[in-house]
Amino acid sequence: MTAIEVEGLSKRYGPKVAVDDVSFTVAEGEIFGLLGRNGAGKSTTVDCLAGLRVPDHGQIRVAGLDPRQDRHELRQVLGVQLQESQLPDRLTVGEAMRLYASFYPRPADVDGLLAQLDLTDKRTTRYRRLSGGQKQRLSIALALIGQPRIAILDELTTGLDPVARRDAWQLIDDIRNQGVTIVLVTHFMDEAARLCDRVAIMRDGRIAALGAPAALAQPTLEDAFVALTGRRTS
Amino acid sequence: MKMLTITEAKLLVREPLALFWGLAFPMALLAVMGLSSTDIGGVPLVTIYEPIVIAFVGVVFGVQGIPVQVAGYRERRILRRLATTPAGPVRVVAAQLIVSLVVVLAATAGVLAVGRLGFGVPLPRQAAGFAGVAVLSATAMLALGLLIGAVAPTARSAGAAGTVLFFPLMYFAGLWTPQLSPATRHIGQFTPLGAGAQALRDTMAGGWPHPQALLVLAGWTLVCAVLAVRFFRWE
């Protein structure tokens, strides 16, 4: 079964081409990594998958749905963690979780999810009093609260300390084992190598390489990344 | 929707500045007028100021509060995040408007109560007319605030725009000079709060609001709301 199909996706902002004829598929239950330097087109691709932007060209199917035409259905089955998305300062962790849980017909257990992300003792803490890592973990929790079939996690572990990063990885493993398909946008090659079944490395809006991390690694995934996307290949 | 509205209500209650300017300050202003023995043309100052204070509450929550809330939610990418959930971004903006409307109307009732119990200002004699005008004034302020929030790029610029608008709006409501000259009153009747304060005053005195005042308020509400929806920047 295919969870995500992207065929010939292109998107430009005025004269600037953000995504240029990108195609890939993600199998159900797969963890798919989207790598690339800043401005490579990762976020625009993710926005198109989530139905936040209209592609100029190309076909997208997420869980068999068209992200624009079937928006309503897609929102029920897709969980998205967006970069730099915040919450109101005076909202507490528990309130945010209950609020987002109320959006979905079959939400995950709030307490269980908070425990998994080590936020149980922050339940009554207001958003602005959270550390960067705690905000990030809450953001992950909100993306998963609706028990999505597919989750898009943009810069999942940015701002997390090494222990919290490992915990987040464990969580990703756990939810994948529940059958959730995951698209991971990341800058961290060790994270991609550790978690992803396959990765796409983007450069200038195109896919420069696509495959299993071990197959692309020469000798490591990071070396391959630098060779493919660096200005100078040294 | 219910959960969003409850959440927005909690958040508003946690904003001490909004509560000060929107509730405590107007009540205090009314009390100061009530303690003064001045009258204008035989009408006590507190009676003259009651509709002005009610207009003031509408400006604070509508024109100063709503733009900062809406633009702030956009700036912090809260609207964008909600766009990926089944709730969608429209409902949270609707929840903000509902909460602010309820607060403005509750504060209006509070002003009437303080005026009546504290200083013997009679309750509106044309109660139905007064209620209608109060709702229409509030919606005009909310629609204007929504328009600012819809187009302002940041919460900061939205706040600045609301503050700038505060002065002409409240000038024509009579905050600084309750008795406007005939020329300014002529202009003022076409502004939302010039029309609103006058209609509140008329209904408090027992008359029906002038149809033109209702048209002006409904017109501002409709035009601002349509423009806000048309030009709303979701991100």
The amino acid at A92: T
* Radius of gyration of the CA atoms of chain B, in A: 18
Let me know if residue A51 belongs to a domain.
yes
Let me know if residue A176 belongs to a domain.
yes
Q: Tell me whether A90 touches chain B (CB under 8 Å).
A: yes
Domain limits at B37? 2-231
Which pair of structure tokens corresponds to residue B200? 């509140």
Tell me whether residues B85 and A103 touch, CB distance under 8 A: yes
- Those residues whose C-beta lies under 8 Å from the C-beta of residue A154, and which sit 6 or more positions away, are A42, A43, A46, A80, A81, A82, A83, A185
pLDDT at A58: 92
pLDDT of residue A169 exceeding 90, the answer is: no
Q: Please tell me the distance from the alpha carbon of residue A116 to that of residue A95, in angstroms, as a whole number.
A: 17
Number of Cβ within 10 Å of residue A164's Cβ equals 18
Q: Please tell me the distance from the alpha carbon of residue A153 to that of residue A33, in angstroms, as a whole number.
A: 10
Substitution target from B69, B70, B84 for chain A, most A beta carbons within 10 A? B84
Query: Residue B234 — pLDDT band, cuts 50, 70, 90?
Result: confident
Tell me whether residues A146 and B85 touch, CB distance under 8 A: yes
pLDDT of residue A177 exceeding 80, the answer is: yes
* CATH code (residue A218): 3.40.50.300
User: Tens digit of pLDDT for each residue in B111-137?
Assistant: 999 999 988 889 999 999 999 999 999
Let me know if residue A92 belongs to a domain.
no
Q: Are B221 and B58 in contact (CB under 8 A)?
A: no
Q: Which of A90-99, A220-229, B189-198 has the lowest mean pLDDT?
A: A220-229
Beta strand A198-203 with A206-211 is antiparallel
Substitution target from B81, B92, B99, B233 for chain A, most A beta carbons within 10 A? B81
Mean model confidence pLDDT for chain B: 91
Q: Please tell me the distance from the alpha carbon of residue B27 to that of residue B8, in angstroms, as a whole number.
A: 24
Report the domain count for chain A: 1
Let me know if residue A115 belongs to a domain.
no
pLDDT of residue B15 exceeding 90, the answer is: no
Report the domain count for chain B: 1
Let me know if residue A160 belongs to a domain.
yes
Which pTM value belongs to this model?
0.88
Domain limits at A24? 2-85+148-229
Q: How far is A102 from chain B (nearest CA, A)?
A: 7
